[in-house]
Amino acid sequence: GPGRRLLLSTPIFYANGPPHIGHLYSALLADALHRYRGLCGAGPGRLSTGTDEHGLKIQQAAAAAGTSPPELCQRVSGLFRQALTQAAVSFTDFIRTSEPHHQRAVRHFWGALQDGGALYKGCYEGWYCTPEECFLPESQLAERRDAQGRPCKVSLETGHQVHWTKEENYMFRLSAFRDPLRDWLRDNPRAIAPDPFYQRVLRWLEEDLPDLSISRERSRLQWGIPVPSDPTQTIYVWVDALVNYLSVVGYPETHGEWWPAAHHVVGKDILKFHAVYWPALLMAVGLAPPERILVHSHWTVRGQKMSKSLGNVIDPAACVGQYTLDGFRYFLLRQGVPERDCDYYDEKVVKLLNSELADALGGLLNRSTALSINPSNTYPCFSESCFPKVLDYREAKGLGRASAEDYELVASVASLPLQVASYFEGFQIYKALECIALCVRQTNGFFQRHKPWKLDRRDPAEQLWLDTIIHVTLECLRVYGTLLQPVIPHTADRLLSRLAVEPEERGLSNLTFLPRYDGKPCPFEGRELGPDTGVLFHRLEKPRQRQHQIETKKV
């Protein structure tokens, strides 16, 4: 509701390597939700992101690169901030877990766990996976051979090698929270979306929930926050990282102004940490779990998992250079389906952007604002006699110039804002974009069907119908431009500026379509259009042509 605060968050990204499109996808989903909420005129909102900078992986990556952990983190954190800024992610907070205010929050959180009796010291042994920074049960392991052909155990999900580890650690009484976690999820069926992930967490809670080792021996892991009362132990990197969602809103002093109104956008690989461990840790310190956990799947490249060894990691900066900022954003948000992995390849990006942004949307704007069709360069008048309001468009024959398909278009576009709202609310942004693309196609059909370029302006009756066709088309474009702002902000801005829609007229809370059809005044009617902003979205070359040009240049 109005005035309600909300924290939207991306995961904080692990600072052991540069950003790839998987990271950007998380951030763009959160950014689109944040921008959408702002356009609805909702209450104060924050979008937090940042880098997770402690742990064994970073200690090892720094050693391998011949640098220190702080220097590695400083550099990689800078790369993430740069990539997110370049992708127009409108974050309000960028947190680094190496910052003093975050470390103070983690120490306080640890103290609250200890004071609540949720911790005890115990001996822990098991298969530890360094890349995932966690112990794995036998059921999640497989037998493989390493590079030297020796038998070894690996994580079933990721293929990373595991090592048997035995040490004395602080344990968190996770087993005590199985019932409270189940109650929380049963009482809040929208807490985890989409539904397949909600069901997955419920299944996990049917299984054993062993206590969790939440510290590591300091002798093995120096790069992390020491346990406040025990300098021989380092706080487990995941506990440290999860507390970022509290430290960003002022924990332990002022977090109450925001918490628990938080929506975490996370990848499915870190679902258990966010949907089981994190809510349990919060309950243990007397805080409520986050309101919602929004989960997405992964990107593959031509059907293969992205990996450094395959050399197929997609660099976001190269994509922005190749497809433009808005093109790249549109592709990821239009093609990314949270419930399942999505495949990335150049030809697919080019085909989608040329078809939907360059031809359908850009072509429609270009044709409907061309001086040959609209010589007065205005938002022309709507004629009720040409397009009369009818209760049942199947009975509209003979009343005006509009056909049954035209009435279908008006009904589709009129219902679009509510459809888009429900898809954003349900974390299905791709479906919102699918609906918009469908309506854009319908509008092109409308324009093509009536061939306004063939109508004679000198005939008063033809002039009325010509102006009505353009008015309806511009109204459709205004709705599309307004609804696309969270996804392609720059392109939407150019489209709306061309239609002379003022900044204060671009909100979603008062978006009405074709008021003249309902006998109400239209504030845009008769208004002079904005300056010509040129081609809305330039067609992209096919990857093969581009490769040929590169090779020709080399020759």
Domains of the chain from N-terminus onward: 6-296 (3.40.50.620), 359-528 (1.10.730.10)
**Coil, strand or helix at 123:** strand
- Tokens 């090698």 -> residue: 161
Contacts of 39 (CB under 8 A, 6+ apart): 482, 485, 486, 506, 507, 508, 509
Count Cα atoms within 13 angstroms, Cβ side, for 528.
3
Q: Would you say the C-alpha torsion 271, 276, 282, 287 has a positive or negative sign? A: positive
Q: In this structure, are residues 236 and 216 in contact, taking their beta carbons and an 8 Å threshold?
A: yes
Q: In this structure, are residues 496 and 479 in contact, taking their beta carbons and an 8 Å threshold?
A: no
Q: Is 74 exposed, middle or buried, given 0-12, 13-18 or 19+ CB atoms closer than 10 A?
A: middle
Element (H, E) at 337: none
Q: What pLDDT score does 394 carry?
A: 66
Structural tokens at position 543? 């990857």
Angle of CA points 363, 31, 346, to nearest 5°: 50
Which neighbouring-strand residues pair with 170?
121
Q: Going from the first residue of the chain to its last (555 residues), give the mean pLDDT of each consecutive group of 10, the final group possibly shorter.
A: 86 92 95 96 94 92 93 96 96 97 98 97 86 82 89 89 90 97 97 96 94 91 93 94 98 96 96 97 98 93 75 81 94 93 89 97 96 94 93 68 93 97 96 98 97 93 96 98 98 97 94 95 96 93 53 37
Q: What pLDDT score does 553 carry?
A: 40
Q: What pLDDT score does 542 carry?
A: 80
Taking the C-alpha atoms of residue 22 and residue 316, their distance in angstroms, rounded to an integer, is 9
Contacts of 197 (CB under 8 A, 6+ apart): 268, 271, 275, 293, 295, 339
Q: In this structure, are residues 18 and 76 in contact, taking their beta carbons and an 8 Å threshold?
A: yes
24 φ, ψ (degrees, to nearest 5): -65, -35
What count of other Cβ atoms lies within 10 Å of the Cβ of residue 547? 12
**Distances in whole angstroms, Cα of residue 14 to Cα of each of 58, 76, 86:** 8, 9, 19
Taking the C-alpha atoms of residue 277 and residue 210, their distance in angstroms, rounded to an integer, is 11
Contacts of 502 (CB under 8 A, 6+ apart): none
Q: What pLDDT score does 17 carry?
A: 86
What count of other Cβ atoms lies within 10 Å of the Cβ of residue 123? 10
Structural tokens at position 41? 């005129």
* DSSP-derived pairing of the beta strands 134-136 and 119-129: antiparallel
Contacts of 454 (CB under 8 A, 6+ apart): none
Taking the C-alpha atoms of residue 29 and residue 9, their distance in angstroms, rounded to an integer, is 10
Taking the C-alpha atoms of residue 228 and residue 207, their distance in angstroms, rounded to an integer, is 33
Q: Is 451 exposed, middle or buried, given 0-12, 13-18 or 19+ CB atoms closer than 10 A?
A: exposed
Q: What pLDDT score does 544 carry?
A: 57
Structural tokens at position 505? 């007229």
Taking the C-alpha atoms of residue 294 and residue 296, their distance in angstroms, rounded to an integer, is 7
Q: What pLDDT score does 552 carry?
A: 36
Q: What pLDDT score does 548 carry?
A: 35
**Distances in whole angstroms, Cα of residue 449 to Cα of each of 53, 394, 467:** 58, 18, 15
Taking Cα atoms as reference points, which of 68, 12, 511, 476 lies closest to residue 245?
12
Q: What pLDDT score does 157 carry?
A: 82
Contacts of 161 (CB under 8 A, 6+ apart): 129, 144, 146, 152, 153, 154
